[in-house]
Amino acid sequence: MNATEKAERLKLAVQKSGRLTDNSLELLKNCGLKLSRGRDQLMGFGENMPLDVLFVRDDDIPDLVQEDVCDLGLVGRNVLEEKRLEMIAKGHKPSFTELRTLEYGRCRLALAIPDGFNYEGARSLAGKRIATSYPFTLENWLRERGVSADIVTLSGAVEIAPRLGRADLICDLVSTGSTLQANHLREVETILESQALLIRTPVELPEGKQEWVDRLLMRIDGVQQVRESKYIMLHAPRSALPEIRRLLPGSESPTIIPLEGSGDRVAIHAVCRENVFWETLESLKKAGASALLVLPVEKMLA
């Protein structure tokens, strides 16, 4: 590989090992990327696209992208927002560009109280000690509510802080709530809803790289769409068409095919951009449909 070819390769930052790693790699795989690497290695090289992956801690991803070390990054909104507020607090100007919100990494930053804490809204937090790994996001939330509390910044094991007497309550990431439950904590407020994001460098990319970013985005959109999409086939009398079209979830223009030898009946094929549930099939049947078939969609390119 010569120097220009190397410069033309996109560099994407991905969490090395953690909750975002598998989903991020799966997304790239679904976009057609073949990576050669061992998981313990720092870099993965795209074999069939000019895109290489840099494996790092998720907390480093916003800086790597903002400082143009990487062109792209996959990171949680929680981490990005904390970084953004930290920069503002320190007098810097953040310039993150979000390209897409992705379907994975869903969690929320939430306040949770131990048994015996009497919570009656943000006012109850005045003067309390709150343990968190997200001091800037929490600070911002408290400020917006005019409440002053004591933020105890911890880098991990936030959920045991109340038991250790280090804090009165916590502000931590939650997805199912089972960790909170195990620690006798009860969620009382959502501070931030989070999902994984694709972010890009603030610096303009050379044409060749930008083209690949655009292609990647188109593929990501396709991947995200097919996840929910279904191909539905059914037979129905022509007279039932308006009602059936109304019932088909998120489909634009179904294909209508006459059925050989069955007079008024037609076959209807449609791509539904939402999941098709049993209730929908039952309603379609009631409207006159028969021979209903629902198939998964593998790829889609608008």
Interface with ligand ATP (CB under 6 A), residue from 34, 57, 123, 285:
57
Residue 163 binds which of Zn ion, ligand ATP, none (CB < 5-8 A, kind-dependent): none
- Residue 77 CB, nearest approach to ligand ATP (Å): 7
Q: Is there a contact between 161 and 112 (Cβ–Cβ < 8 Å)?
A: no
Residue 105 within binding range of ligand ATP, rule CB under 6 A: yes
- Residue 19 CB, nearest approach to Zn ion (Å): 9
Interface region with Zn ion, contact rule CB under 5 A, candidates 56-64, 170-178, 190-198, 282-290: 56-64
Can you tell me the distance from the alpha carbon of 43 to that of 192, in angstroms, rounded to the nearest whole number?
31
Task: Enumerate residues 6+ apart whose C-beta is below 8 A from 301.
Answer: 218, 222
Residue 215 binds which of ligand ATP, Zn ion, none (CB < 5-8 A, kind-dependent): none
Residue 59 within binding range of Zn ion, rule CB under 5 A: yes
Nearer to ligand ATP among residue 193 and residue 252 (C-beta): 193
Nearer to ligand ATP among residue 22 and residue 211 (C-beta): 22
Interface with ligand ATP (CB under 6 A), residue from 13, 20, 25, 74:
20
Q: Transcribe 224-285 into DSSP letters.
A: HHHHH-EEEEEEEEGGGHHHHHHHSTT--S-EEEEPTT-TTEEEEEEEESS---HHHHHHHH
Interface with ligand ATP (CB under 6 A), residue from 28, 107, 138, 287:
107
Interface with ligand ATP: number of residues (CB under 6 A): 15
Identity of the amino acid at 50: P
Beta carbons within 10 angstroms of residue 198's beta carbon: 22
Nearer to ligand ATP among residue 20 and residue 276 (C-beta): 20
Residue 173 binds which of ligand ATP, Zn ion, none (CB < 5-8 A, kind-dependent): ligand ATP
CA atoms within 13 A on the CB side of 291: 11
- What are the two backbone dihedrals, phi and then psi, of residue 172, each rounded to the nearest 5 degrees? -145, 170
Interface with ligand ATP (CB under 6 A), residue from 79, 111, 138, 266:
79
Interface with ligand ATP (CB under 6 A), residue from 9, 19, 269, 273:
19
Interface region with ligand ATP, contact rule CB under 6 A, candidates 56-64, 110-118, 205-213, 233-241: 56-64
Kindly tell me the burial class for residue 273, based on how many C-beta atoms sit within 10 Å of its own C-beta (0-12, 13-18, 19 or more): middle
Interface region with ligand ATP, contact rule CB under 6 A, candidates 46-54, 72-80, 210-218, 266-274: 72-80
Count of helices and strands (H, E) across the chain: 9, 16
Residue 58 within binding range of Zn ion, rule CB under 5 A: yes
What is the b/e burial string over 6-30, where b = at least 16 CB atoms within 10 angstroms of the residue's CB? eebbbbbbbbbeebbbebbbebbeb
Quote the tokens at residue 112. 């949770």
Residue 78 within binding range of ligand ATP, rule CB under 6 A: yes
- Residue 112 CB, nearest approach to ligand ATP (Å): 13
Residue 59 within binding range of ligand ATP, rule CB under 6 A: yes
Q: Is there a contact between 103 and 44 (Cβ–Cβ < 8 Å)?
A: no
Taking the alpha carbons of 207, 210, 215, 216 in that order, is the dihedral positive or negative? positive
Which residues of this chain interact with Zn ion, rule CB under 5 A? 58-59
Which residues of this chain interact with ligand ATP, rule CB under 6 A? 15, 18-20, 57-59, 76, 78-79, 105, 107, 173, 175, 194
